[in-house]
Structure 1
Amino acid sequence: DFVRNNSRMRCRQSMKIAEELGCRAVIFHTNYITGFKSYSYREKWVIDNAEFYRELLDEFPNQCIFIENMFDDSPELLKKLAVEMRAEERFGVCFDIAHAFLWDFPLEAWIEELGPFIRHVHANDNFKDEDSHLPIGDGRLPWLLINSGIFKRNRCSFLIEVNGIDNVRKSYDYLTKNHLYFFDRRRRTRLAITNDLKRVLDIGIALTAERDHFKLFDLIVSEAMSLTRCEAGTLYILQDDKLYFKILRNDRMNVYEGRNGEPITMQPVALDEKYVCAYCAINKKSVNIEDVYADDNFDWKGPREYDRVTGYETRSMLVIPLVNHDDELIGVLQLMNAHDDDNNICGFGTDQEYVTYSLASQTAISLSNMIMLKELKDQMYSFVSSFATVIDARTPYNAKHTYNVAKYCTTFVDYLNKLNKLGKSPYCFDEEMREQLMLAAMLHDVGKVVIPLEVMNKSDRLSSMLPVMRMRWKYIKLIIENKHLSGEMNDAEYEKSVEDLNNSIDFVEKSNVVPFLDDDAFAKIDSLESLVYTGPGDEKVEFITEEEREELKIRKGTLTAAERAKIEEHVVFTDKILSKIQFGSKYDKVRFIAGAHHEFINGSGYPNKLSGDDIPLEVRILTIMDVFDSLSSSDRPYRKQSSLAETFEILRAMAKEGKLDIGLVEIARDCFVPPEEDEKKE
């Protein structure tokens, strides 16, 4: 219900934003689970979505809703929804022609099935292998199909959905050259764009495109000052019911504080209507004052004292609220001393006020979106962190492993980037790649939640068998002592029997915990089969049973073949668990990276025996860091802690076997081994 309600809330927010921006329609994705083919699920999906979209159309009577085909392998379900909604004139289909082309269902049939409902078209090209968003004409799509009469009859709008202005122009040229819809008409209407309008539009695009909130602060103040030709600008952001200074700029006084997030030491302004910026914030209304010295509506002690001390003269002022799409105040923009064509100080015109208000609103929406994205990212990270806590808490032998591996990965990636800047490494991670690797590291062992604890916690070969064996050995000692006391065994025989028993016990106890057993140890374990003692009533008591001998005969580590196979299943379960999480395109590699961390370059890893170039850089790094922590940690039940230098000798050996990337191992050694320990080892 949480996910469902949250999704519906986001849909309503999107509708409200579109309404405020004056958009004609909002496009939503289908995003139903294509793997669910059951009739009941698909029918329920249609009914539930139709009900919700009717609610949205009722709430937003000026908006249209178009549903885009995303992972749909046929038009069947989308058509059912469109038929269910056919009475709603403001509902239709957004047909992504490139998405449809990816599937086996013929493109002509897609258009025929959905044709009556198509209102909008998304267009880009591909080679029927992936959703690559190539320029139109660069792939294999049969573009003549878009001249179908269906698109013309429906008067479909058309969006060229490619990256970069050059690719847009290339697509446009292809469509016009081949007289394809939407560009098959000879007469076109043109919108005259003046230089002033173009500049405002360019600023609006820049504001909505900016992803760094500090740069966004700089941008709105700089552009607003430039548009209004004023001397000074201040940006306040509302926090804890106070207006905090974020940008303080006065070109005439050569003052520019707050640039790139630099803190401003001035005290925040209380929300008291006697202050003009606070009045603007409280009432969410702009204030345009031609001469502050002639105004008695607000407390001007602060500006007048500033003028007295600095020699500056504050005259005209325009104060604009930054209000987002939810009618929430984000901050206040304050501009001072506009200039006329003769460069004299004058008041701010109504056109300037209107344009500045529009840009301030765009800034507020952009900032709100940044905050919302950060909240979503924080929510995802907290979810991932809780997963990691559960994994590490299951066993004391894994207590910090997940967090260690994530820490090592980020440290190593930062080191690689540092080397790359110095020209010493070809590897470079952007922020998105870095985040994907870190998330994968936090989730790489999530499959261990289904592995039995007795297997995960197995610190020796015999494990739960050993207490039973020790009780039996005590019983055997009693048998020997009774025979000695009864005279069946003389002193020499008694001492020899006790010594042999103790030696056998010592051998088993040591063999139970050593990292590796050679052939001689195996032979001696087999020889213990002959150790059988006779108790009261001719009872035969074995020193070690056949099952115990086989359990002890584990050449390396503490796990039997069956137990090791069970442990190795954790990567399969990791992949299954992560397959249920919608990471989105930004984090689309997380699942693969996490599930492949036991694959080796020579193909000897698991679960899919990947090799060579099939193992990307992120997986190679995660694999090295996973082994690195296992070797260097002090809490592993089956292995003593290795020094850093010893750890990297083992990693080097694995690289020489072809399992790990030798180049990355050597760089990791430089990253993690202090020079003094390295010299000590040598």
Structure 2
Amino acid sequence: MHEPTPSQIAQRLDQLTELSVALGASEDTTLLLERILHAAQSLTHADGGTLYRPSRDRRSLHFHISVNNSLKLRQGGSSGVTVDIPPVPLYDAEGRPNLASVAAWSAHQGRAVNIEDVYLDDVFNFSGMRSFDRQFGYHSQSFLTVPMRDHEGELVGVLQLVNAQDPASGRVQAFSATDQRFIEALAAQAGVALTNQQLLRQLEELLLALVNLINIGIDEKSPYTGRHCQLVPVLTMMLADAVHQTDAGPLADFHMSDATRRELWLAGLLHDCGKITTPVHVVDKATKLETLFDRIHLIDTRFEVLLRDAELRALRAVAAGGDADALRAALDEECTALRADRAFLRHANVGTESMSNADQERVRRIGPDGQEQPFLSDDELKNLHIRAGTLTEDERKIINNHIVMTVRMLESLPWPRHLQNVPEFAGGHHERMDGKGYPRGLTKEQMSVPARVMAIADIFEALTARDRPYKKGKMLSESLHILGKFSENGHIDPDLFDIFIRRKVYLDYARKHMDPRQVDTIDEALIPGYIP
């Protein structure tokens, strides 16, 4: 065993410093572990090495990566070769610590083990190593085993090196004390790097869990909105990927990094988080008269009273000597008119694309009828008079306020740098390219491409959704026609709409997420705003 020279030590310190920077910047755990093992071999000129990771239940050590340069063996990690070595148990059947295995001993004791010649060692069980040597015609000799722990002392791995080699002659020698100190320093840095990655991953998992928690809350209030929150990010990513792959046209320069993809997906999940503050009777208002219940039933009852009263008047008139046939004819005419008005109000209670002026006038004409008070209250008259949909102007303002709440909620969070665009991506899906949208009246030039993508996804999902209580899902052709009109009138980005059609994003989404009965034949030449 030869201790390294001062110049060799200086060189190793440089390597260790460079590695520290690299470990801190690495985001891929597999590549990070491979870099750790490769660095350890390089620092000590080790011929082989193994990196163990504790199992999820922390009852055993699993071979994560195994390397032997002389034998040209690579298992685990990014090699694509499955590690076929059984795990090392950390405890026996009775729950006692396994101290016979050098890797398990090091894990339990938190100390390095440096063995000059394993064939002369009588402390640990090296039967597995001897079996390996016989199988591959190899001779294991020097071993250096070092535990890796996090800042709280928890085991995150075990690093094991085999057969230190003299740099000049290649002769196998023992690992020096300096080798051990360098590997212990590397293991400490590696433990921190692995812990940082683990903490970041756990924080991202926690963030996604909190997002799902919000969506669960929305889903409990309104399963229709909950499904919308699940599908909008799916369609958003489908269109964003299509734009990313486009190499011609105005959007040819748009490219997404992995970080932007994460931001956009998260923004899609959160784009309607403000609806958690919206009253459920407004979100799911299926008919014009619905509040906690559909008040059309109250109006039905009033009609029943009117029909009963008409019949009682006719019977009294007959009993008083009136002309029975004439009274019966008059009763039939009155009841027919009442039933017609009842059927009309039932129909008017259902939201439509556009209520005619004549129907609105008929509602106004029915409203004041009544002897002691108007047949329809002011609120009932106001609701049944709604021209499009089921919402009054005040209720529409409540619905529209969800995006204001979404922006407020998202902008109040201390987003890390790699997620700082989530509020902008999520908060722009009700803006219009001509600046007539809300809440901020942004124009196309003031919006990012991902925010404009989400606007299209939000509209198309809403048009095709088949589970809304206030409307049926539109046919694919009708939805594309409406979206095309939006492209022409400055509502959505025409460049993105072109990609949406040209790259068949609409069709991929329809086949996966729409009712097959809605997916009719599409002639793209007939879609407004699109030039094949």
TM-score range with shorter-chain normalisation? Answer: 0.7 to 0.9
8 A Cα contact 1:648 1:665, kept in partner: no
8 A Cα contact 1:392 1:401, kept in partner: no
Match of 1:510 in 2: 347
Alignment of 1:154-303 (within 5 A): 194-239=10-55, 240-260=58-78, 262=80, 263-271=82-90, 272-303=98-129
Q: Deviation at 1:194?
A: 4.3
The whole-number CA distance in structure 1 between the counterparts of 2:236 and 2:391 is 28
The whole-number CA distance in structure 2 between the counterparts of 1:258 and 1:411 is 33
8 A Cα contact 1:232 1:250, kept in partner: yes
Match of 2:220 in 1: 393
Match of 2:308 in 1: 478
Task: Please say if 1:323 is aligned against 2:149.
Answer: yes
Match of 2:334 in 1: 497
Q: Deviation at 1:459?
A: 1.2
Letter paired with 1:363:
A
Note the aligned Cα RMSD (angstroms). 2.6
Change beyond 3 A, Cα 1:296–1:545? closer
8 A Cα contact 1:323 1:329, kept in partner: yes
- With 251-260 and 434-443 compared, the bigger mean Cα shift is at 434-443
The whole-number CA distance in structure 2 between the counterparts of 1:476 and 1:623 is 49
- With 220-229 and 670-679 compared, the bigger mean Cα shift is at 670-679
Match of 2:93 in 1: none
What secondary structure is seen at the aligned counterpart in 2 of 1:334?
Answer: strand
Give the alignment's TM-score, normalised by structure 1.
0.67
Q: Deviation at 1:494?
A: 1.9
The whole-number CA distance in structure 2 between the counterparts of 1:551 and 1:305 is 84
Q: Which of residues 154, 159, 172 in structure 2 aligns to 1:345?
A: 172
Q: Which has the higher contact order (CA 8 A, sep 6+)?
A: 2
Match of 2:491 in 1: 659
Change beyond 3 A, Cα 1:452–1:196? closer
Q: Deviation at 1:321?
A: 1.4
The whole-number CA distance in structure 2 between the counterparts of 1:339 and 1:326 is 34
Match of 2:471 in 1: 639
8 A Cα contact 2:240 2:450, kept in partner: no
8 A Cα contact 1:476 1:541, kept in partner: no
Q: Deviation at 1:518?
A: 2.1
Give the alignment's TM-score, normalised by structure 2.
0.84
Q: Deviation at 1:316?
A: 1.4
Q: Which of residues 133, 152, 164 in structure 2 aligns to 1:307?
A: 133
Q: Deviation at 1:659?
A: 0.7
Deviations 1:75-119 (A, max 9, x none): xxxxxxxxxxxxxxxxxxxxxxxxxxxxxxxxxxxxxxxxxxxxx
Match of 2:426 in 1: 594
Q: Deviation at 1:541?
A: 6.2
Letter paired with 2:480:
F
8 A Cα contact 1:208 1:363, kept in partner: no
The whole-number CA distance in structure 2 between the counterparts of 1:479 and 1:275 is 96
Match of 1:427 in 2: 254
Deviations 1:290-309 (A, max 9, x none): 21112211112111111112
8 A Cα contact 1:234 1:333, kept in partner: yes
8 A Cα contact 1:232 1:337, kept in partner: yes
8 A Cα contact 1:645 1:673, kept in partner: no
Change beyond 3 A, Cα 1:357–1:529? closer
Q: Deviation at 1:420?
A: 6.2
What secondary structure is seen at the aligned counterpart in 2 of 1:406?
Answer: helix
Gaps of 5+ in 2: 1-8, 91-97, 524-532
Gaps of 5+ in 1: 1-192, 534-538
The whole-number CA distance in structure 2 between the counterparts of 1:390 and 1:201 is 48
Deviations 1:530-561 (A, max 9, x none): 7x36xxxxx45655455433321211111111
Instruction: Report how many residues are paired.
Output: 484
Q: Deviation at 1:580?
A: 3.2
Match of 1:459 in 2: 286
Change beyond 3 A, Cα 1:606–1:498? same
8 A Cα contact 2:288 2:351, kept in partner: no
The whole-number CA distance in structure 1 between the counterparts of 2:373 and 2:395 is 28
8 A Cα contact 2:61 2:88, kept in partner: yes
Match of 2:5 in 1: none
Q: Deviation at 1:327?
A: 2.0
Match of 1:519 in 2: 357
8 A Cα contact 1:398 1:635, kept in partner: no
What secondary structure is seen at the aligned counterpart in 1 of 2:521?
Answer: helix
Change beyond 3 A, Cα 1:210–1:541? closer
The whole-number CA distance in structure 2 between the counterparts of 1:345 and 1:529 is 101
8 A Cα contact 1:225 1:335, kept in partner: yes
